[in-house]
Chain A
């Protein structure tokens, strides 16, 4: 009769970590354009790489240009119109 094997883990919840295997991959020097994998997007995720890194200041700028120049649009919405002179 096969039975009673060595107790390997308790039935209830109890965890102990040992020998965690961690494989490291350095991403420096990667090139290519075809398809950028999600783990390669560290640089693109930096705040200074955003289309509008400072939206509140951009709203003010766009509002000023909207009121003082003859053309507008194409960027972040800078609030409502005005009777600016």
Chain B
């Protein structure tokens, strides 16, 4: 099941003939390129090469995404880490059983962006390590789509890729878009609304999947340094010029947890909404 995605665009008759289809093609192309499930995606090609001693030469877009991941890793003191996807394998939310500390420790040896050899445009992964662009490509896709629409003369619209939002411009009458922020207690209901006439809005939540063991709640956002789910925050929403930036900041804030996350985010001086866990 994928995330529900919607495009709200005000188009001229001429734009309507071409822009929507081309916009969808543009997003599907990105998904195909970075999906872990497509065996011919660049993600799969890089991951398959892990431990082979061979490096993979990547295209300029992928290189820019890897550079971005490197910067986010450094700025978050190692919390934003695109190699942390392997933790999903040991945390089985359906089982209701915690992985052993030994298993976690073993998995942690396969995590760490600093272990990757990245010399633009060549990347080389140690054995069994994996990259996952999933943590930020959807946000990047929202920005890409917005850029594409703007290049084609679209000036009013909102792009919603499963909750990662990028506003191109206000409604036709100049009114801002109202974007609901989910109540972690009741995600079908909006807890608050933010208004936007342009820019990105992204939310990172720890409530979508979790398990309760011995009265303790374990969410699906993992700290790549400890291998344990982060604690303290239920959801972080950030508004920034680009959806990618909003998404990265909300993710890092969520990973920093409480205390620390909220303070770090306030320093950015961007509009945000943090919902703490009780």
Contact = CB atoms under 8 A, between A and B. Distances in A.
The reply, when asked whether chain A contacts chain B directly with Cβ atoms under 8 A, is yes
Contacts of A33: none
Nearest to B16: A24
A3 B185 CA distance: 8
A12 B16 contact: no
Main secondary structure of the interface of B (DSSP, over half): mixed
Contact of B208 (A2, A5, A17, A41): A5
Interface residues of A, number: 33
Given A13-B34, A14-B31, A3 B210 contact: yes
Classify chain B: how many residues form its interface, as a range. 35 or more
A25 B31 CA distance: 30
A4 interface: yes
Given A14-B31, A15-B162, A22 B11 contact: yes
Interface of B: 1-14, 16, 20, 24, 27-28, 31, 34-37, 85, 88, 132-135, 137-138, 141, 153-156, 161-163, 172, 184-185, 187, 207-212, 215, 217, 220
12 contacts: A3-B211, A7-B209, A14-B134, A16-B1, A20-B24, A21-B8, A22-B9, A26-B12, A27-B13, A38-B155, A39-B12, A39-B156
